[in-house]
Structures are given as structure tokens and as C-alpha cells.
Amino acid sequence: MRVAIFTDTFLPKIDGIVTIICLLIDHLETRGIQTAIVAPKLGIERYKNSPIIGVPGVRMPLYPELTWGPPTFGTYRQVKAFQPDLAHFIHPALIGGFGLLMASRLRIASVASFHLDYARLVHHFNIGFIEPGADWLTRILFNWADYALAPSRLIQQDMLRLGIRRVGLWRRGVDAVRFNPAFRSAEMRAYLSGGQPDDTLLLYVGRLSTEKKLESLRDVLGAVPGTRLALIGDGPARPALEAHFARTNTLFTGYLQDEVLSQAYASADVFVFPSALETFGLVVLEAFASGIPVVAARVGGVPDVVEEGRTGYTFAVGDTAALIDGVRQIAASRDRMSAMGQAARAYAEAQSWPAIMDEVVDLYEHLIAARKARRR
């Protein structure tokens, strides 16, 4: 089997979408499935054994980490030469939209997976007037594919309400070896806590952007004595957030990767996630696997995985009082914090990536067989 993966974001950018793509490609390789990646041209020509078919573009003014540009006829020639049996579109937009044309021209099977709610995201960039158009385009592109995948039941319901047909679930898993309480480090804890390791250390990992609602975490620091905050990641809102958190017990680390990131997760006490917009929230499972409870907004896949009072607490988007209360309840007792962390770890250990990725491979095989049957 040969699979072409189309995405509007890829390495060297680091975020939840890129993480999922890399995990998928890694698993396909173990199954002997060849892949090619059609992605923005950012100086990387291969990911492991997979060639990257680079698409030239320009920097997006609202999000300079991303480039934006349509595939060319040269892109099509390279995809055709790869001879894919199926195309997987990682939330089709510009590259994916043209990719759907290519898949149609090549008469191959296709699947589109939902990763980013553009229609709601535009409100956080003060261009909410394009929401109806974004919804219309999302419906058109996802229905163009043979099948669509949602990351959570909440998003699946939203997609069906939008008019997208044939929507299945692509659940999320976690690498419980990479993210593990065994990575807890006294040195990392001292660094993240500003030399105050006995304080309660709150952690956030992800993009620093307006839809994450990170400014609300300053209220937590003021309301819950003895708390400190580490924000891991980068993004367009970082300068404003650094000003907002000035003179508070807050550390901005920038991006962390590999074992250093694993140490950061395992060395914290509570993972805080006030985001207003998520399709799943993979970082929640990474925190669970690291043995720390979570206080998170009820978005994306959060309601699917957090068990109230056992592995964490959830709250309505924008309910800062409930966010504070969740942190306060966990921070009030070290024994309670430890018990919730152990329960979170136990849940994460049951969320195996290989089994979940095999479900995607099974879907590929079904779609390819169905396409061949239609040809006959």
C-alpha cells in the first residue's frame, strides 16, 4: 500500500497536528506501508523514509509560523510518480483542497481527518465575518473525500450537524513509555518552579495563541497561594502573554522536545488547559501518562477522557472561577494530587497508539477495496 499525506502544516513546526502526522507515518512504516508527504516547503526534504513534496508559499501575517501557498503542476507530477493507492488529507484547506483535485484525477481512495476548527478559530483573529464561508468550505472539502474522521465524539457531532456525511472516529492515544512518571527530575522541577520546588507547579504545553485563553491562568496564580506556572511552547501571542504575566511566578520556556519535554511533564503537579478551541487536546493524555491530573476546559476530546474528581476537573470555556476551584481542590492535598495522578496514569496506559493506528490502516484497506470495486 502507498499513501500520500496532504497537510498544510508540518515540520519544523511543532504542534499537536504535526505530532499526529509523525505518529501516523511511523506506524505506517512499521506496517510496511510507503508514504509521501505533501506539505509546505520549509527546508526539510524527508521525514525518516518518507519524501516530502514541498509546496512553496508565503508567510501568513496572522500566524508567521505557517506558510500558505497552492500546490503546482509540479506537485501533481511528483504525487502521480509516487503512485499512491490512497490520499489522506490532514484537515484539507489550501494544499488539501488542491490535493482532493489530484486524488480525483488519479482516481484513488481518499480520507479527510478533522484537526482544526477554522470557522471558530477566525473569531480569535478578529475576522469572524468569514465564519459562514469557512463552514461552507469545510463541508464541501470533507464531503469530497470518500470518508471523514473526527478526533472526538463532540467534534463528530459538530461535523454531522454541519452537513458532513460519513464521519467516523479516529481516536487519540498516547505513548506511555515516552510520557512517564519515571522522567520526574529534581533539576527540571527546580528550573520550572524558579527554584521553589515545594510550591505547586502548574504546567501548560502547546501553542501560545489567543484561542488558548492562557491569560486566565494569571487569576489562578493570584487566587491559589503557593502556585507557580510554566508555559511550554511558542506562538504569536507570546509577547502579549509575557507582558500579561510580568511580575508573577511564571516561566516561559519556548519549545521543549524529546526527553526534556518528558521531564517537564513528569516534574509538574497539575496540567492546566483553559483553551477555548480544540479538536481533541492530545496534551491532556500526555499529562495523564506523565502521572499528573488535569484541569481543562470542556472542549474537543477533554470530556471523553477526564473523569471528574478522579483524573481531573473540567469547566465551561471562560469560567475562570471553576478553573480556579479545580486547581484549588487538587492543590489542597498532596495525597489527593498523588492519587489523581496515579489514576490518570492508569487511564493513559490503556490508550495504545498502535491499536488506534491499526484502525486507520483497516479503514485505508476498506476504502481502497471499495474504490476498486466501483471501478469494476
| Cell matching residue 326 | 479545580
Which pTM was predicted? 0.76
Nearest C-alpha neighbor of 99 from the set 39, 169, 13? 39
Please identify, in words, the CATH class of the domain defined by 2-173+352-375. Answer: alpha beta
Residue 122: how many other CB atoms lie within 10 Å: 18
Classify residue 373 as exposed, middle or buried by CB count within 10 Å of its CB (0-12, 13-18, 19+).
exposed
Pick the CATH number of 181-349 from 3.40.50.2000, 3.40.50.300, 3.40.30.10, 3.40.630.30: 3.40.50.2000
CA 3 to mean position of chain CA atoms: 21
Q: Phi and psi for 324 in degrees, rounded to 5?
A: -60, -45
Tell me, what's the pLDDT at 119?
46
Q: Specify the domain boundaries for CATH 3.40.50.2000 within the chain.
A: 2-173+352-375, 181-349
Q: Helices 282-289 and 258-266 meet at what angle, rounded to 10? A: 70
Q: DSSP readout, 249-291?
A: SEEEEE---HHHHHHHHHT-SEEEE--S--S--HHHHHHHHTT
Q: Tell me which residues of the chain have a pLDDT lower than 50.
A: 119, 122-124
AA identity, residue 57:
G
Tell me, what's the pLDDT at 123?
46
Q: What CA–CA distance (Å, rounded) separates 307 from 352?
A: 18
User: CA end-to-end span of the chain, whole Å?
Assistant: 19
Tell me, what's the pLDDT at 58?
85
| Cell matching residue 279 | 479538536
Tell me, what's the pLDDT at 131?
63
Look up residue 198 and give its DSSP letter.
Answer: T
H or E element at residue 355: helix 353-375
Diameter of the chain measured on Cα atoms: 69
Tell me, what's the pLDDT at 279?
74
CB 135 within 8 A of CB 119: yes
Nearest C-alpha neighbor of 35 from the set 20, 19, 53? 53
Tell me, what's the pLDDT at 71?
95
